[in-house]
Chain A
Amino acid sequence: MDHENPIVTLFGLDFNVTNTIVTVSACVIVFLIAFICTRNLQVKPTGKQNFIEWVVDFTGSIASSAMSKKQSEKFRLLGFTILTFVFVSNMMGLPLMLIIDDYQMWKSPTADPVITLTLAAMVIVMTHYFGVQEQGVKNYFMNSFVRPVPFLFPIKIFEEFTNTLTLALRLYGNIYAGEILLGLIASLAQSKGIFTWIVGIPLEMAWQGFSIFIGSIQAFVFTTLTMVYLSHKVEHEESTEHTKEAS
């Protein structure tokens, strides 16, 4: 929105206070959910344990659908953290938007491009790291950039950056657009007193419902693409060539 963000400069770096607050809040919320759900673990699960195990199985299935079962074991925690963090982040901006002294203090962290770009860059760097770890430097380089045909080398280098950008901006765009529309509907509802409230509240509710849907889908897409990019780097030659040819 057109509200300003409070910015603090430390050690020559700019910190957006709102982003810091909401990011840490998202982490705390995810942590609390996971913490509460994993108390009193039992072999025969009930209630909250069923829920967290469902989420774990869900991320596990995302991971194992992108790569072999054995390799997916390693990335299940990453997938779980990404899914829950992005999902909670997407939901945070829906119920309220806090504006203090013209500074916007509460929103979805994923409605900020810096945060989504950071996440996407982190994911892409991780894919390279695990690619080297799994295959060794030479095989990793050959499989990632040279095979199956060497003349695609520049395009493959370029692809790494476009992957980062698309991964980040898809998420950012969806959530940011949702929040803008929520803000617009809210200001519409407030514009002409009681009559616009009657129109505005159902609209707002409908759009919030839709945003929940969008937020869930985007969290799922982000996790899935993370796993797909990882699989491109960690899978060995045959399957890598196969997927490259298929795409």
Chain B
Amino acid sequence: MGSPMVIGQITAGDSIVTLVSFLLLMLVLKMVAWKPLMAMMEKREQLIAGNIDDAEAKKLEAERLLKVQQQQLEDTRNRSSAIIEQARDSADKLEREQLAAAKAEIARLKEEAKKAIELERKQALASAQNDISRLSLDIAEKLIGKELSNEGHAELIEEYIERLANSNEIK
């Protein structure tokens, strides 16, 4: 130690020290820092690639779902308009049917009423005829009764009764 140094003196030992320490440094760095760092960077790369793939898949899926939804929406719209159409049709039909039924009912009632009226009229007419014939009989009776007392009028009464009978027959 301590020999005077000339500038440029070769200290060969330094080469060995430098070489060994540098290579050792590289080895230690590789073990301690490089490998975990590379593994981490690799992991990150894969993670990012995975995320991108995932996002792409999700996007495709979303597009597919959107298409399906639109299709379903379209279907529903078609179906609902069909249902409305159908309902309108059936409502119309029902209305027409009810209208027709009501008309028929009215016609039936009218007919019945007409028949009843006719019947009533006939009955009334029949009873009136009876009344008239009875009345005329009464009248005739009274007339005859009064006249009968008078002789000589027998032919007239005969004629009267005959005419009355004829008129009854005509009716």
Contact = CB atoms under 8 A, between A and B. Distances in A.
Partners in one complex: yes
Interface of A: 4-8, 10, 13-17, 19-20, 23-24, 27, 30-31, 34-35, 37-38, 41-43, 52-53, 56, 77-78, 80-81, 85, 109, 112-115, 117-119, 121-122
**Which secondary structure dominates chain A's binding surface?**
helix
Contacts, number: 114
A224 to B, nearest CB: 18
A122 B29 CA distance: 18
Contact of B1 (A7, A20, A85, A113): A7
Interface residues of B, number: 35
Contact of A42 (B5, B15, B29, B40): B40
**Which secondary structure dominates chain B's binding surface?**
helix
Contacts of B30: 77
A14 B10 contact: yes
A37 B33 contact: yes
B167 interface: no
Interface of B: 1-5, 8-19, 21-22, 24-26, 28-30, 32-34, 36-37, 40-41, 43-44, 47
A19 B28 contact: no
Find the residue from A80, A81, A117 having the highest chain B CB count within 10 A: A81
B111 to A, nearest CB: 96
A117 B22 CA distance: 13
